[in-house]
Amino acid sequence: MACFNVLLIGSGGREHALSWAIAASPLLGQLYCAPGNPGIGEVATLVPIDIGDHAEVAAFCKSHAIELVVVGPEAPLVGGLSDYLRTRGIKVFGPSKAAARLEGSKGFTKDLCARYGLPTADYRRFSTQADALAYLESHHAPIVVKADGLAAGKGVTVASTDADAKTAVNDIFASGMGECVIEEYLEGEEASFFVLSDGITAVPLATAQDHKRAGDGDTGRNTGGMGAYSPAPVMSDEMCARAMAEIVKPTLRAMAEIGAPYSGVLYAGLMITREGPKLIEYNVRFGDPECQVLMMRLKDDILTIMLAAADATLDKISVRWWDEAALSVVMAARGYPGPVERGSEIRGLEEARRLEGVEIFHAGTALKDGKLIADGGRVLSVTARGRTIAAAQALAYRAIDLIDWPEGFFRRDIGWQAIARAAS
């Protein structure tokens, strides 16, 4: 059996989950990760290369016989790393720079939806602060304000008051993030829908649902994600089929038509409305923390799947899932998604990890003097698998209760919608 050396790009909980899954592959030779984190370091060799320096990444791939590069986060994809490596004969799991515009520019995606008739919220694009504020004089809350470019999952404001909407506009232009997109507010239930594409074949993956708000009861500020679970009950077989037929497949056809065929994983953030699924936004990589629950449920070999996407042979493989549910709870540093204190010690992980069905994925962690410390906003993803979402939830919180980190916080209600639906 051939063995493939793999370089994984990234350092978050998503990349720890991917490295955990890749490390289990019988096809794997050596796994490297740049820059990685202490958790990833348990299953991969961490390499101190500058992932923003495309030439340095390519040189490492050549010197270490890397046969596949897996790009975890969005910024290197939007920056064109995939294109640079492919032109040098290195296989990549991840879309081109042109295709990554689906995440890199909210305006690009909204214009694509308008051009090809894809169901989404009504919108307007603004390149000046004055025009955006003038629009808000006649379009009132609830309303959604988005930064056009990348904002690490924190560039979206669901404004419940006119004042909040104006503040969001002012913040976007003050931060220099460029254009602003203002959308109608959609009523419904959110879901995350993932699809693999090789530019020709599209294969739907498992569904998930995440929790963006910082506080219990979906209150507080928007974050990059405070927890997730899979499967998402709102995504019935019928709803998945509609999402593929009405949103994803037309998008992939459109991208091919404009000369930017899509290869990699495509993450459609959906709102399930009374009329059916509508696109909120696209991401051009696995979600975080959705990736953690997907990897816990994936039955087939992730490296085989990624190689098939890179080689345009997705039509020759299967992607199967364990029937069990998975649920992940993010432990974040106090203050997140705002400024946080770094350096607090985290204890008790070994005891928590001994629980059967539990995996703890690192995100913002570091080692200092032999101690594990918090080194970011979202710090850990405590993930559990169970017969039902309720069972997975109970196990995840049992594990969290064994972790000693007073400087952290987490939500106590991850999975509440699915559990309420099951009880009704």
* pLDDT of 421: 87
Give CA–CA dist 362/404, Å, rounded.
Answer: 15
178 has a pLDDT exceeding 70? yes
Grade residue 66 by pLDDT with cuts at 50, 70 and 90.
very high
Secondary structure E strands in 223-374: 227-230, 263-273, 276-283, 325-333, 358-362, 365-368, 371-374
Measuring CA to CA, how many Å separate 326 from each of 80, 316, 385, 417?
A: 33, 27, 4, 14
121/99 Cα distance (integer angstroms) = 21
pLDDT score for 155:
77
Beta strands per DSSP E along 138-295: 143-147, 156-159, 180-184, 189-198, 202-210, 213-215, 219-222, 227-230, 263-273, 276-283
Q: How far is CA 240 from CA 181, 228, 306, in A?
A: 27, 18, 22
Distances (CA, A) of 76 to 61, 182, 286, 361: 16, 26, 14, 22
Backbone angles phi, psi at 233, to 5 degrees: -55, -30
Alpha-carbon distances, residue 218 vs 68, 151, 158, 176 (angstroms): 39, 21, 12, 29
DSSP H helical ranges for 151-275: 162-174, 237-243, 249-257
Query: What integer pLDDT is reported at residue 285 of this predicted model?
Result: 96
SS3 category, 231: coil
Tokens representing 337?
Answer: 């998604």
Among 6, 60, 58, CA closest to 28 = 6
**Domain segments of the chain as ranges:** 4-96, 122-184, 189-316, 325-423
Asked whether the beta carbons of 333 and 342 are under 8 A apart, the reply is yes
Neighbours of 12 (CB within 10 A): 24
Mean pLDDT for 63-90 is 97
What mean pLDDT do residues 201-229 have? 93
Residue 153 has pLDDT above 60, yes or no: no
What is the DSSP pairing of strand 227-230 with strand 325-333?
antiparallel
pLDDT of residue 179: 87
Residues in a beta bridge with 397? none
Q: What CATH number does the domain located at 122-184 have?
A: 3.30.1490.20
Q: Is the pLDDT of residue 221 over 90?
A: no
Provide the pairing of β-strand 180-184 with 143-147.
antiparallel
SS3 100: coil
Give the domain 189-316 fold: D-amino Acid Aminotransferase; Chain A, domain 1 (3.30.470)
pLDDT digits (tens, 9 = 90+) for 252-284: 999 999 999 999 999 999 999 999 999 999 999
What are the phi and psi torsion angles at 33 (to 5°)?
Answer: -140, 135
What torsion do the CA atoms of 289, 291, 293, 296 make, to the nearest 10 degrees?
A: -140
pLDDT at 1: 58
Q: What is the pLDDT of residue 149?
A: 81
Whole-number pLDDT of residue 284: 97
Give the whole-angstrom CA distance, residue 47 versus residue 67.
16
Pair of tokens at residue 34: 């740049």
Burial of 287 (0-12, 13-18, 19+ CB in 10 A): buried
Share of the chain above pLDDT 70, in %: 99
Residue 371 is encoded by which pair of tokens?
A: 């101690």
Write the Ramachandran bin of 153: left for phi over 0, alpha for psi from -120 to 50, otherwise beta: left
Specify the pTM: 0.94
How would you classify the pairing of strands 189-198 and 227-230?
A: unpaired
How much is the mean pLDDT over the chain?
A: 95
pLDDT at 154 over 90: no
Q: 325-423 is classed in which CATH architecture?
A: Alpha-Beta Complex (3.90)
Cβ neighbours for 403, distance < 8 A, ≥ 6 positions apart = 331, 346, 347, 348, 349, 352, 380, 382
Looking at domain 4-96, its CATH architecture is 3-Layer(aba) Sandwich (3.40)
Residue 151 has pLDDT above 80, yes or no: no
